[in-house]
């Protein structure tokens, strides 16, 4: 018979072992090799069995084993030493504490998924793992941040592959207690319940699980509570499970419930109210509406004033240029919720307008979460330089009057958490060679410090582990598929001596899982070359509802089962953090071949690079920014091809060429058994990319470029009963209504001729009609720079303010300024008027700009 509910019963820890509790319930263990080794040593076999989770290990160990360990003085001493290290980690000042100047006292970070560890499957791919890495680096840097998300009972699915090559999904239920989460309880010990009033008198309740990620709490809302009727208990059943209203309910719970959970957390722990709210992708956009609603009720401000205040304190990060990655809901569905008592006193109409696609090319019947994010976030960014520029074009229609390169979306390139992603063997090598574990901070180029033999030895060890893991996984898959005997060839797949190329990711079409199969005969020749073979290790999950992705997986799996190649190309099922940690370090080359420019950043290649793996990639995302000719290879993009088919053919051919003519010769060229030229590239990769690709760098960028400015403005607007928020809102209303009449009547320059010499100064006069506005409300700017053949001023331009020369005469205000000529070449200028207010972050963020002529 089947139990209707299961739970973990954990043995009691003796006094000597009591600190194990602290060590197991703080997820800091997930990036501490020492803490993991401590737990593993309690029972190595069990540790493997429970997938390497301390809380589960404690639950699985018998009282006898624990009693024995209590008597083991060495072990007890190690427990206390580790606990002391954890306490110091939580207590000591870190980077943020030394940061000078105003800085936020608390930041709330919202994300629909968090990838903290393989044993906490609350993520589907890059977005979630990035969020997990963000929390870990915030913790390491001492940034006072709180993560906010949902607790999905089945998380994301586990993948297996059938005999037919088709992906199968299963959804094991998670027991949060057994994983090391704790339930948020009030002062009387009762579980805190967050409530949302829904349409038709319904009520959605959620409990809050707390996962302590080092110094950073992560609050996860869980609708599976007895207070809810059965259907509402399913709201947090799965990550990205349903569509439509189910997804909308998840996002309402994440956004609205998330803010309420943060309030409860602050009230119970005494943490200060967050000053900055960062939403990782648009899914949590309702957090802004909830905070506006709060302000309207509690501070008595108007809708526009609340909007000004919330915008100032919101950072919105967009993560994808692929439309399917953005949530869009029917307008009417969202209206139902906006008109319900959910948002206590937020007027529904203007709130709806914040998310509608009511711009040229949009669908005004659609409520778009990215549009909501951009309207509510005065600071917005993409996740690589290229993606920033793609996003400015993609979302440019929200600011129709603004040039694409000025659309107020900046970029901060993603990064990865080095202590999580660097293989322990490499960390140990760093410690031997440099005296500390920070592989990303060292210069690996000197053979005196680290010899080729030593470096290659560690690289080879990592490859051997991957080979063993691949055989183990495929063997286990064959056994669980019911095969009486595991086929003998599985024990011979892959060879640690062979050039190994890895490729694993989610399987949306644009990532082109099967590009490598474009010419199967050529690929077969490459793989089976008798002298210098190549092997491919592949993984990837398709979204359960995406059959086209499953077809790609099937094609690949079928190809890989051909006896001619099966030892050299393997598909490893159930790609997740645990597999990734063996897979990345175990490859020589990491392959990525998306359709440029659809990969916003990509982070798997960064994790590979930190492990001394060379990248072979289309120049997309981060690789477009940091490929330098010596750290790997760029697959040329054929984006001028006549069709998608031709493009794939051309890019696949370029990929084969690179493998045959660049990778293979360099890898197999040996001196004393070591690929010296290859290791030159490895050393360069680790030294140069190490500094750039870490999430420590990323989080520092977010703090200094977005969180600090945002907190400074949020405080200033809030002061004196929201005096500046009121003033900003009044300003916005005034300039919006008057802007139609603003014009530049006339511009006069002292350059009668079109030739000039450097060192000269041109005097510029402009006559500007401001109608109802005053010169204090606007900036009149002279914008100049090099021009192209169409007289367009390029992106490298300068603007200088023109000064108003006295009062308006006949409605015309005279302005004057001078233009220094410093650069040679074809040069042009124009004059423009933009709104001016100390709390605008970008002069064009209101979309109001008037040009001369």
Report the interface residues with ligand PLP, using CB under 6 A: 125-126, 129, 505, 575-577, 580, 602-605, 607
| CA dist list (Å): 507 to 274, 500, 510, 591 | 37, 21, 8, 14
Q: Output 456 or 503, the one with its CB closest to ligand PLP.
A: 503
How is 98-161 classified by DSSP, letter by letter?
Answer: G--S---S-EEEE-S-B---TTS-B--SHHHHHHHHHHHHHHHHT--EEEEEE--SS-SPEEEE
Alpha carbon distance 672, 441 (integer Å): 29
Q: Output 42 or 577, the one with its CB closest to ligand PLP.
A: 577
182 forms bridges with which residues in the sheet? Answer: 210
Alpha carbon distance 140, 353 (integer Å): 40
Closest distance of CB 129 from ligand PLP, Å: 5
Q: Output 506 or 746, the one with its CB closest to ligand PLP.
A: 506
Closest distance of CB 374 from ligand PLP, Å: 23
Alpha carbon distance 473, 574 (integer Å): 10
Burial of 722 (0-12, 13-18, 19+ CB in 10 A): buried
Closest distance of CB 137 from ligand PLP, Å: 15
Nearest to 372 by CA among 677, 21, 110: 110
- Angle of helix 644-658 relative to helix 520-528, nearest 10 degrees, comes to 10
Closest distance of CB 695 from ligand PLP, Å: 11
Q: Output 217 or 594, the one with its CB closest to ligand PLP.
A: 594
Q: Output 53 or 604, the one with its CB closest to ligand PLP.
A: 604
**Angle at 688 (CA atoms; ends 463, 469), nearest 5 degrees:** 15
Closest distance of CB 602 from ligand PLP, Å: 4
Closest distance of CB 637 from ligand PLP, Å: 17
Alpha carbon distance 147, 112 (integer Å): 10
Closest distance of CB 576 from ligand PLP, Å: 5
Q: Output 399 or 571, the one with its CB closest to ligand PLP.
A: 571
Alpha carbon distance 340, 187 (integer Å): 31
Residue 709 neighbours by CB under 8 Å, 6+ apart = 379, 841
Closest distance of CB 621 from ligand PLP, Å: 8
State whether residue 32 is helix, strand or coil.
Answer: coil
How is 646-674 classified by DSSP, letter by letter?
Answer: HHHHHHHHHHHHHIIIIIHHHHH--BTTB
Q: Output 32 or 124, the one with its CB closest to ligand PLP.
A: 124
Nearest to 220 by CA among 230, 240, 206: 206
Closest distance of CB 32 from ligand PLP, Å: 19
Closest distance of CB 292 from ligand PLP, Å: 33
Q: Output 291 or 505, the one with its CB closest to ligand PLP.
A: 505
Q: Output 605 or 612, the one with its CB closest to ligand PLP.
A: 605
Report CA 807 to chain centroid distance, whole Å: 51
Q: Output 582 or 724, the one with its CB closest to ligand PLP.
A: 582
Tokens of 535: 């092997």
Report yes or no: 446 and 452 within 8 Å, Cβ to Cβ.
no
Q: Output 368 or 603, the one with its CB closest to ligand PLP.
A: 603
Alpha carbon distance 415, 693 (integer Å): 5
Q: Output 241 or 602, the one with its CB closest to ligand PLP.
A: 602
Q: Output 116 or 729, the one with its CB closest to ligand PLP.
A: 116
As a whole number of angstroms, the longest Cα–Cα distance in the chain is 96
Closest distance of CB 273 from ligand PLP, Å: 33
Alpha carbon distance 751, 800 (integer Å): 18
Closest distance of CB 458 from ligand PLP, Å: 21
Q: Output 593 or 830, the one with its CB closest to ligand PLP.
A: 593
DSSP state of 373: H
Closest distance of CB 378 from ligand PLP, Å: 27
Residue 220 neighbours by CB under 8 Å, 6+ apart = 114, 122, 149, 150, 151, 181, 208, 209, 210, 211
How is 680-692 classified by DSSP, letter by letter?
Answer: HHHHHHHHHHHHH
Closest distance of CB 577 from ligand PLP, Å: 5
Report yes or no: 109 and 149 within 8 Å, Cβ to Cβ.
no
Closest distance of CB 631 from ligand PLP, Å: 16
| CA dist list (Å): 535 to 116, 528, 677 | 30, 9, 20
Continuous segment of H or E residues that includes residue 521: helix 520-528
Nearest to 216 by CA among 356, 313, 108: 108
Closest distance of CB 625 from ligand PLP, Å: 14
What end-to-end distance do the CA atoms of the chain give, in Å?
Answer: 81
The single residue listed with the structure tokens 């660097």 is 422
Alpha carbon distance 662, 15 (integer Å): 60
Closest distance of CB 596 from ligand PLP, Å: 14
| CA dist list (Å): 249 to 253, 342, 627 | 6, 12, 42
Continuous segment of H or E residues that includes residue 262: helix 258-269
Closest distance of CB 192 from ligand PLP, Å: 32
Report CA 690 to chain centroid distance, whole Å: 18
766 forms bridges with which residues in the sheet? Answer: 747, 815
Strand ranges, E, within 369-426 = 379-382, 410-411
Tokens of 215: 């110094």
């Amino acid at each position: 018979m089947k139990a209707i509910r299961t739970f973990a019963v954990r043995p009691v820890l003796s006094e000597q072992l009591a600190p194990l509790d602290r060590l197991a319930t703080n997820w800091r263990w997930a990036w501490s090799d020492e803490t993991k080794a401590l737990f593993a040593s309690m029972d190595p076999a069990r540790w493997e069995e429970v997938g390497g989770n301390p809380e589960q290990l404690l639950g699985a160990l018998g009282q006898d084993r624990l009693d024995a360990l209590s008597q083991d003085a060495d072990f007890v001493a190690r427990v206390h030493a580790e606990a002391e290290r954890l306490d110091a980690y939580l207590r000591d000042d870190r980077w943020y504490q030394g940061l000078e100047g105003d800085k936020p006292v608390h930041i709330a970070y919202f994300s629909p998924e968090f990838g903290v560890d393989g044993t906490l499957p609350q993520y589907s791919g890059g977005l979630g793992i990035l969020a997990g890495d963000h929390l870990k680096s915030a913790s390491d840097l001492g940034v006072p941040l709180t993560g906010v998300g949902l607790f999905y009972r089945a998380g994301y699915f586990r993948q297996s592959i059938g005999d037919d090559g088709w992906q199968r999904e299963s959804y094991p239920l998670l027991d949060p207690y057994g994983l090391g989460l704790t339930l948020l309880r009030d002062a009387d010990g009762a579980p805190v319940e967050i409530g949302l009033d829904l349409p038709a008198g319904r009520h959605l309740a959620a409990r809050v699980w707390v996962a302590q990620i080092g110094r950073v709490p992560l609050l996860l809302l869980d609708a599976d509570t007895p207070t809810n009727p059965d259907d509402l208990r399913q709201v947090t059943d799965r990550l990205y499970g349903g569509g439509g209203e189910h997804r909308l309910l998840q996002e309402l719970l994440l956004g609205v419930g998330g803010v309420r959970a943060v309030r409860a957390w602050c009230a119970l722990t005494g943490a200060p109210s967050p000053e900055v709210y960062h939403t990782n992708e648009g899914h949590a956009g309702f957090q802004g509406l909830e905070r506006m609603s709060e302000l309207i009720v509690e501070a008595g401000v108007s809708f526009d004033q609340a909007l000004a205040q919330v915008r100032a304190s919101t950072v919105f990060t967009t993560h994808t240029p692929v439309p399917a990655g953005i949530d869009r809901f029917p307008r009417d569905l969202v209206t139902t919720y906006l008109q319900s008592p959910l948002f206590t006193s937020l007027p529904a109409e203007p709130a709806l307008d914040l998310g509608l696609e009511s711009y040229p090319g949009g669908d005004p019947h659609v409520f778009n979460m990215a549009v909501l994010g951009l309207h509510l976030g005065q600071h917005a960014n993409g996740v690589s330089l290229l993606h920033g520029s793609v996003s400015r074009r993609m979302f440019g229609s929200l600011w129709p009057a603004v040039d694409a390169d000025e659309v107020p979306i900046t970029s901060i390139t993603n990064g990865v958490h080095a202590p999580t992603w660097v293989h322990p063997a490499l960390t140990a090598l760093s410690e031997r060679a440099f005296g500390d574990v920070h592989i990303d901070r060292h210069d690996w180029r000197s053979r005196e410090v680290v010899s080729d033999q030593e470096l290659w030895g560690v690289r080879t060890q990592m490859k051997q582990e991957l080979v063993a893991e691949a055989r183990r996984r495929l063997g286990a898959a064959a056994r669980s598929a019911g095969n009486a005997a595991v086929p003998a060839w599985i024990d011979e797949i892959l060879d640690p001596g062979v050039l190994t190329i890895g490729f694993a990711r989610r399987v949306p079409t644009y990532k082109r899982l099967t590009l490598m199969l474009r010419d199967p005969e050529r690929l077969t020749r490459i793989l089976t070359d008798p002298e210098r073979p190549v092997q491919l290790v592949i993984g990837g999950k398709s979204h359960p509802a995406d059959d086209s992705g499953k077809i790609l997986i099937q094609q690949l799996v079928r190809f890989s089962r051909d006896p001619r190649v099966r030892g050299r190309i393997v598909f490893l099922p159930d790609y997740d953090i645990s597999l990734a940690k063996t897979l990345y370090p175990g490859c020589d080359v990491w392959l990525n071949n998306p359709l440029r420019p659809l990969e916003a950043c990509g982070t798997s290649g960064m994790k590979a690079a930190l492990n001394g793996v060379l990248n072979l990639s289309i120049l997309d995302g981060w690789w477009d920014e940091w490929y330098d000719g010596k750290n790997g290879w760029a697959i040329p993009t054929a984006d001028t091809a006549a069709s998608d088919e031709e493009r794939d053919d051309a890019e696949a051919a370029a990929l084969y060429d690179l493998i045959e003519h660049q990778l293979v010769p360099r890898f197999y060229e040996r001196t004393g058994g070591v690929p010296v030229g290859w290791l030159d590239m490895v050393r360069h990769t680790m030294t140069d990319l190490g500094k750039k690709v870490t999430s420590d760098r990323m989080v520092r960028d977010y703090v200094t470029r977005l969180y600090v400015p945002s907190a400074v403005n949020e405080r200033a607007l809030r002061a004196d009963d929201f005096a500046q928020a009121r003033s900003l809102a009044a300003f916005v209303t005034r300039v919006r209504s008057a802007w139609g009449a603003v014009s530049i009547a006339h511009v006069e320059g002292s350059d009668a001729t079109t030739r000039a010499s450097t060192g000269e100064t041109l005097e510029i006069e402009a006559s500007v009609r401001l109608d109802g506005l005053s010169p204090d409300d606007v900036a009149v700017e002279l914008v100049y720079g090099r021009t192209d053949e169409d007289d367009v001023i390029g992106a490298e331009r300068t603007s200088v303010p023109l000064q108003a020369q006295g009062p308006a005469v006949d409605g015309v205000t005279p302005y004057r300024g001078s233009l220094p000529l410093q650069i040679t070449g074809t040069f042009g200028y124009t004059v423009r008027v933009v709104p001016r207010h100390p709390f605008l972050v970008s002069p064009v963020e209101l979309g109001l700009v008037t040009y001369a002529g």
